[in-house]
Structure 1
Amino acid sequence: MATRGRKPTPTAIKMLEGNPGKRALNNNEPKPAKKAPRCPSWLEDEAKKEWKRMGKILEQMGLLTDMDMAAFAGYCQAFARWKEAEEFLTQHGSIVRTPNGYLQQVPQVTIAQSNLKIVLKFCEQFGLTPSARSRIAGDGAATDPEDDMELLLGGD
């Protein structure tokens, strides 16, 4: 059965945001080790580059775990396809003339648009947009997220 309403915010993000709603945190939420999953071998080369670039940052923030492999792989693959389509458009343009003389949009326009939408949805999930980041407290460059969390929550 589908649930209604807004998607719940992951506890890790609520804690980084300082729990602005002051609602009780879900103590039963799974807490996988804060260790980035291994990059899948089947990702495109550009997706692997994005995995390497963003994986380190998200792991340091405590937002990427082994359980997130599929979601993060989806982000990286969509990023690679979006980039490939945008590079094509930069090099070749977005309109071609058909043999009948009509102007037609190339498929890469749609590919770029649809993959950008996918990328942005994943970015929201991982806190990678300016609005998502504005809700997160801290400098984002923590070397040990648990220590920063203790400081944020007033622990020793």
Structure 2
Amino acid sequence: MRGTKPHMVTDPEAVGVLPAPGWFTDFARAEWDRVMPILTERRILTDADLGSLENYCIAVATVRAMEAHLQEHGHVLIDVEGKMKRNPAVGVQSDAMTRARLLAAELGLTPVSRSRPAIREEDPDDGDNPLDVS
């Protein structure tokens, strides 16, 4: 990538480090504890983003829980007729991986999302509004 890396725009209403919700699983709490300091240091996480952060942590926790299940029971099961069948945990894990990846990008937790230019508020008095037809 050429040029300088764009600077992230901080939010004056950014939240500080908050404890993980009490109802989280151990996997979800571990992910919250890992990423919350990163996001608060960047000063970009607001109250409006906490739902996305919760969902991200739940998705990561689901990936880890399904991996533990798959390691114990395998990716393939034998049905009552003796035929091999894909373990349903494979699909659950795959869906959770997709959700986690999308939410991580929204929260700026992936290398690609951190390299994109930050959205900056335009000065309403700049006089260059292309939609102003007056």
Answer whether TM exceeds 0.5 for this pair.
yes
Structure 1 partner of 2:20: 39
Does structure 1 residue 17 correspond to structure 2 residue 12? Answer: no
Deviation at 1:109, TM superposition (A): 0.3
Aligned to 2:112: 131
Q: Percent identity, aligned pairs only?
A: 29
1:35-74 map, 5 Å: 35-74=16-55
For structure 1, list consecutive stretches of 5 or more residues without a partner in the other structure: 1-15, 20-24, 138-156
What is the alpha-carbon distance in structure 1 between the residues aligned to residue 46 and residue 71 of structure 2? 35
Q: TM-score, normalised by structure 2?
A: 0.73
Number of corresponding residues: 113
Q: Is the 8 A contact 1:37 1:65 kept in 2?
A: no
Q: Distance in 1 between matches of 2:37 and 2:14?
A: 14
Q: Is the 8 A contact 2:59 2:97 kept in 1?
A: yes
- How big is the alpha-carbon RMSD for the aligned residues of Structure 1 and Structure 2? 2.5
How far is 1:31 from its partner?
4.5
Q: What TM-score results when the alignment is normalised by the length of structure 1?
A: 0.63
Deviation at 1:92, TM superposition (A): 2.3
Aligned-pair distance for 1:18?
Answer: 4.3
Residue 114 of structure 1 corresponds to which residue in structure 2?
A: 95
The structure that has the greater radius of gyration is 2
**SS across alignment from 1:133:** helix
